Chain A
Amino acid sequence: MINLAFKEISYSWVRYVLTAAGLGLLIGVTLTMTGLVRGMMDDAVALIRGTHADLWVVQDDTMGPYAESSTLYDDVSRNISGLPGVAEASNVAYLTVQVRHAGKDIRAQVAGFEKNKPGEPPYLVSGRPILQSRYEAIADIKSGFRLGDKIGIRRTELTVVGLTKGMVSSGGDPVVFVTMKDAQDIQFQKDNTTIYNERNRLSANPKLNRPGSPGLLQAVTDSQQSNQKVNAVLVRLTPGFDPDTVAETIRRWKHFEVYTYEQMRQILQERVIINALRQLGMFMVILAIVSTAIIALIIYNMTMGKIREIAVLKLIGAKNKTIISMILQQAWGLGIIGYIVGNATATTLAPLFPKRVELLVFDSFVAFLIILLICSLASLVAIRAALKVQPASAIGG
């Protein structure tokens, strides 16, 4: 039996392919959005995954430094490291900053870490680890920095000695790793005018600048010039210890909030970026509905354009399934060509997006099945119209 759908497509293939390509652009946008969602979800956990920690100890009643402000003293890690089941505990500090480089400001997340402990950069794609205790940095390649670049963060100038890949904050900003000392300094650093004004304000305070206490003003000033605070303590467990049990011990005896990797992942993916994901999800639903409507309209118009031929086919004895098969095959053809164009569009556009677009083979396969389903659903109106055509309409005009 002749494949009527293929014959008709071959007859006017330019129009058909152009229509499918237009549809493909719409599918490409949808696939790109799916990739954006995947990219955001992966970016959200990139930093915590890279720390290789088992537990995150944070300020009580908070969700940790990735979601909200969390402050601990830097000696907490020493207390925690003495608990049973704790192999290593280390301080980490995070802050989002504008990094100056080559006359431009680049938004980045500074991560302060302790050498050879949880929280240090997982692997380097170029350069070397930080060897000095101060003024060296390891940056993610997404920042655009290169080895040897001098970058300015507030009043501190650092030299980029190593590069990582895929280390971004939950917001997608590249991470710049620095030593804990540098991170604490950067967090606390103020400009000269502010320091000058604060000193004047303290010395003008009669309670702090009393004649009978000559060292008091200096002590208060010194305390404000140093920073012993960190944002979280990362814990690596001794093999064989249950994370939940150790977490419960820390909660009960140290009065801090503790999260396992899974809990931290949930906070990041299901709370911190959830609104952005919902936003994109809504767009994807709208795009799916629009695509269905467009495919339905295209297929309906194609079917109505050959309604006389359908009546003749029915008159000369074609079965309904022949007509249905022709309409469905044309709809699927649109979907398949649209999918190929859409995939090519998404793959081409993905690197141009400022945020990571993660195109997974699995998502692509699911999208293909959804497109075929949408094409089938969109054909229903046209099939109904075709089946309603009476063969009698071919006779006598």
Chain B
Amino acid sequence: MEAIRMDNLVKTYGSGSTAVHAIKNVSLYVNPGEVVGLLGPSGSGKTTLLQCLGAVIDPTAGRIELNGETIFDNGWKLSDLRALRRDKIGFVFQAAYLIPFLSVLDNVALLPMLAEQSNAMARKRAMELLTILEVEHRAHAKPSELSGGEQQRVAIARAMANQPPFILADEPTAPLDSERSLIVMKLLARLAQEYNTAIMVVTHDDIIIPRFKRLYRLRDGVAHEEAGQGLPFPD
């Protein structure tokens, strides 16, 4: 069973002669433990597709399944999308978007706390993830005291905090240099394997693109599946 599956998804803004068809019959899937790339130029419908996958906007038509559970189906949608986002989707953004007034530890622990886990349990889980991502020594620092690479690792830890089956990473290496980009991508790939998590990475990064074994290229609202080079990450 796929971690995420999208069938014939359509998203149209407006109606009649002013209608804009942002996504046209897009079908895609990501398996558990797989890291898939999503490529596409500006205006190709990438953001709209991400927002549909992230369950923050409703598609006009089509069907999305997450971990076997239908969340959208031709106008019907799951009633509590907020809880779905909290528990089953992890988000990693281009600019990390950590909460600046929370410590690194609390930024990661926030998600389990929102899911009503006890503070102690949430912080224990957060510290485990920070250790895996090798930023545990910065646990009590504020995000502004971290380098870009460290911030992105913390963002990944936050995305993993509730052990979601699917992570959506929106250009996670954009602000990083080549070396750090590869480190972050290697971490994502490792986590996908270890936690059996499906990860979709939106990127323009030429260093990253050859590492995908499978990718989708989006152009004018239409997605094409391609086989990637699947180059290994350097040690």
Listed in ascending order, the chain A residues whose CB lies under 8 Å from chain B are 1-2, 4, 7-8, 10-12, 308-309, 312-319, 322, 390-392, 394-397
Which of the listed residues A4, A10, A392 has the most CB atoms from chain B within 10 Å of its own CB? A392
Q: List 13 A-B contacts (CB under 8 A).
A: A7-B106, A312-B93, A315-B85, A316-B91, A317-B85, A317-B111, A392-B54, A392-B56, A395-B93, A395-B170, A396-B46, A396-B170, A397-B47
Is A394 touching B93 in the complex (CB atoms < 8 A)?
A: yes
**Shortest distance from the beta carbon of A386 to any chain B beta carbon, whole Å:** 14
Q: Which secondary structure dominates where chain A touches chain B?
A: helix
Residue among B56, B85, B119 making CB contact with A1, cutoff 8 Å:
B119
Q: Known contacts A309-B100, A392-B51; decide if A317 and B87 are in contact (CB<8 Å).
A: yes
Q: Known contacts A395-B91, A396-B46, A396-B51; decide if A316 and B119 are in contact (CB<8 Å).
A: no
**Shortest distance from the beta carbon of A107 to any chain B beta carbon, whole Å:** 57
**Inside 8 A of A308's CB, which chain B residues have their CB?**
97
Is A391 touching B102 in the complex (CB atoms < 8 A)?
A: no
Is B119 touching A313 in the complex (CB atoms < 8 A)?
A: no
Which of the listed residues A314, A316, A396, A397 has the most CB atoms from chain B within 10 Å of its own CB? A316
**Inside 8 A of B182's CB, which chain A residues have their CB?**
none
**Inside 8 A of B146's CB, which chain A residues have their CB?**
none
Docked CA distance A395–B56 (Å) = 9
Is A394 touching B97 in the complex (CB atoms < 8 A)?
A: yes
* Known A309-B99, A312-B91, A392-B54; further 9 A-B contacts with Cβ < 8 A: A2-B109, A4-B102, A7-B106, A12-B101, A309-B97, A315-B91, A316-B91, A396-B47, A397-B47
**Shortest distance from the beta carbon of A309 to any chain B beta carbon, whole Å:** 5
Is A316 touching B86 in the complex (CB atoms < 8 A)?
A: yes
Is A390 touching B85 in the complex (CB atoms < 8 A)?
A: no
Docked CA distance A373–B51 (Å) = 39
- At the interface, yes or no: B110 with Cβ under 8 Å from chain A? yes
Contacting A at CB under 8 A, from B51-99, are: 51, 54, 56-57, 82-83, 85-87, 91, 93-94, 97, 99
**Inside 8 A of B119's CB, which chain A residues have their CB?**
1-2
Is A317 touching B86 in the complex (CB atoms < 8 A)?
A: yes
Q: Known contacts A1-B119, A2-B110; decide if A7 and B82 are in contact (CB<8 Å).
A: no
**Shortest distance from the beta carbon of B30 to any chain A beta carbon, whole Å:** 17
**Inside 8 A of B94's CB, which chain A residues have their CB?**
397
**Inside 8 A of B47's CB, which chain A residues have their CB?**
395-397
Which of the listed residues B46, B56, B109, B170 has the most CB atoms from chain A within 10 Å of its own CB? B56
Q: Known contacts A394-B91, A397-B94; decide if A317 and B113 are in contact (CB<8 Å).
A: no
Is B93 touching A317 in the complex (CB atoms < 8 A)?
A: no
Is A391 touching B97 in the complex (CB atoms < 8 A)?
A: no
Residue among B51, B87, B114 making CB contact with A322, cutoff 8 Å:
B114
Is B101 touching A10 in the complex (CB atoms < 8 A)?
A: yes
- At the interface, yes or no: B115 with Cβ under 8 Å from chain A? yes
Please report the number of residue pairs spanning A and B whose Cβ atoms sit closer than 8 angstroms: 81
Q: 6 closest pairs, A vs B, by CB?
A: A317-B86, A396-B47, A11-B101, A392-B56, A8-B101, A391-B56
CB-nearest residue of chain A to B55: A391
**Inside 8 A of B113's CB, which chain A residues have their CB?**
1-2
CB-nearest residue of chain B to A1: B113
- At the interface, yes or no: B213 with Cβ under 8 Å from chain A? no
Residue among A312, A317, A390, A396 making CB contact with B83, cutoff 8 Å:
A317
Is A2 touching B106 in the complex (CB atoms < 8 A)?
A: yes
Interface residues on B, range: 20 to 34
- At the interface, yes or no: B21 with Cβ under 8 Å from chain A? no
- At the interface, yes or no: B142 with Cβ under 8 Å from chain A? yes
**Shortest distance from the beta carbon of B3 to any chain A beta carbon, whole Å:** 18
- At the interface, yes or no: B50 with Cβ under 8 Å from chain A? yes
Docked CA distance A397–B116 (Å) = 29
CB-nearest residue of chain B to A318: B114
**Shortest distance from the beta carbon of B38 to any chain A beta carbon, whole Å:** 12
Is B97 touching A312 in the complex (CB atoms < 8 A)?
A: yes
Docked CA distance A1–B118 (Å) = 7
**Inside 8 A of A313's CB, which chain B residues have their CB?**
99
**Inside 8 A of A318's CB, which chain B residues have their CB?**
114
Contacting A at CB under 8 A, from B152-192, are: 158, 168, 170
**Inside 8 A of A7's CB, which chain B residues have their CB?**
101-102, 106
CB-nearest residue of chain A to B168: A395
CB-nearest residue of chain A to B84: A317
Docked CA distance A363–B2 (Å) = 66
Is B56 touching A315 in the complex (CB atoms < 8 A)?
A: yes
**Inside 8 A of B85's CB, which chain A residues have their CB?**
315-317, 391
**Inside 8 A of B100's CB, which chain A residues have their CB?**
11, 309
Residue among B57, B82, B168 making CB contact with A317, cutoff 8 Å:
B82
Q: Known contacts A316-B111, A395-B54; decide if A2 and B87 are in contact (CB<8 Å).
A: no
**Inside 8 A of A4's CB, which chain B residues have their CB?**
99, 101-102
Is B99 touching A315 in the complex (CB atoms < 8 A)?
A: no
CB-nearest residue of chain B to A322: B114
**Inside 8 A of B54's CB, which chain A residues have their CB?**
315, 392, 395
Docked CA distance A354–B30 (Å) = 79
CB-nearest residue of chain B to A393: B56
**Shortest distance from the beta carbon of B59 to any chain A beta carbon, whole Å:** 13
